[in-house]
């Protein structure tokens, strides 16, 4: 890949770092879930990603290694996406005539990325749980607004429609469904079933973010040739 395209393909590095760091963090997570502190290790469908970022695991053991990996991966991924998006927006600016649309794109993704970074600063532990949840909700709500704006742009502009319209629309719908589950689904603290549903929803939307980012990078590289 051309060095001049680094601002785009570095996104692949951001995705790789997030996946690799979190896979290792899961392997070294001591154990415990919201409802059962006696479990051993990381249970993929019963432990949130945020459990990895807690400095003390749910079973009471020190979790410094996994927390360091998760928190650093979240920050790296967020910064990687921001670097990508600033360059991607320059491509979109050729076809965006509305200043309000431009400002909304910048504001929504900036607030979302900052919120994701603050998720790593305020862990899900009891001492900082309130702010952790505030930034989780803020991150995904502003990301949803951003996804709606992106859907409008890629469908309206023919050059984008060819490459990314369906992935963008699919991601926006997936994000909407995630918000519905997060806000109106069963509580993760009420039952094992509720915990399973909320954790699975979170894993699904994180995978969706990675896949959609992959399509955005691919589109940017094709248009920048």
Please count the residues of the chain: 225
| Torsion (CA) 182, 184, 188, 189 in degrees, nearest 10 | 140
**Predicted local confidence at residue 101, as pLDDT:** 87
Cβ burial, residue 153 (10 Å; 0-12/13-18/19+) = buried
This prediction's pTM: 0.92
Q: How many structural domains are present in the chain?
A: 1
Is residue 9 a contact partner of residue 224, using CB atoms and an 8 Å limit?
Answer: no
Residue 52's nearest CA partner among 60, 64, 36, 40 is 64
Which SS3 state, helix, strand or coil, does residue 56 take? strand
Q: What is the pLDDT along the chain (225 residues), one digit of tens a residue?
A: 555 688 898 999 999 999 999 999 999 999 999 999 999 999 999 999 999 999 999 999 999 999 999 999 999 999 999 999 988 888 787 777 778 888 999 999 999 999 999 999 999 998 999 999 999 999 999 999 999 999 998 888 877 777 788 999 999 999 999 999 999 999 999 999 999 999 999 999 999 999 999 999 998 888 776
Q: How many angstroms separate the CA atoms of 202 and 79, rounded? A: 21
Domain holding 120, by residue range, is 3-223
């Amino acid at each position: 890949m051309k060095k001049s395209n680094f601002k785009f393909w570095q996104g692949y590095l951001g995705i790789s770092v997030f996946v690799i760091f979190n896979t290792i963090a899961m392997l070294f997570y001591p154990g415990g879930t919201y409802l059962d502190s006696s479990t051993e290790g990381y249970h993929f469908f019963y432990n949130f990603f945020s459990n990895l970022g807690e400095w003390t695991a749910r079973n009471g053991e020190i979790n410094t290694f996994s927390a360091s990996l998760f928190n650093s991966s979240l920050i790296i991924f967020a910064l990687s996406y921001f670097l990508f998006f600033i360059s991607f927006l320059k491509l979109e600016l050729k076809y965006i005539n509305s200043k309000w649309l431009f400002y909304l794109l910048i504001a929504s993704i900036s607030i979302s990325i900052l919120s994701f970074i603050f998720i790593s600063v305020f862990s899900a532990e009891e001492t900082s749980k309130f702010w952790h949840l505030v930034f989780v909700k803020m991150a995904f709500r502003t990301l949803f607004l951003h996804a709606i704006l992106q859907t409008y742009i890629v469908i309206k502009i023919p050059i984008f429609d060819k490459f990314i319209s369906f992935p963008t629309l699919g991601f926006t719908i997936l994000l909407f469904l995630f918000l519905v589950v997060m806000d109106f689904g069963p509580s993760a603290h009420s039952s094992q079933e509720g915990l399973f549903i909320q954790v699975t929803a979170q894993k699904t939307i994180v995978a969706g973010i990675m896949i959609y980012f992959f399509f955005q990078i691919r589109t940017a590289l094709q248009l920048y040739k």
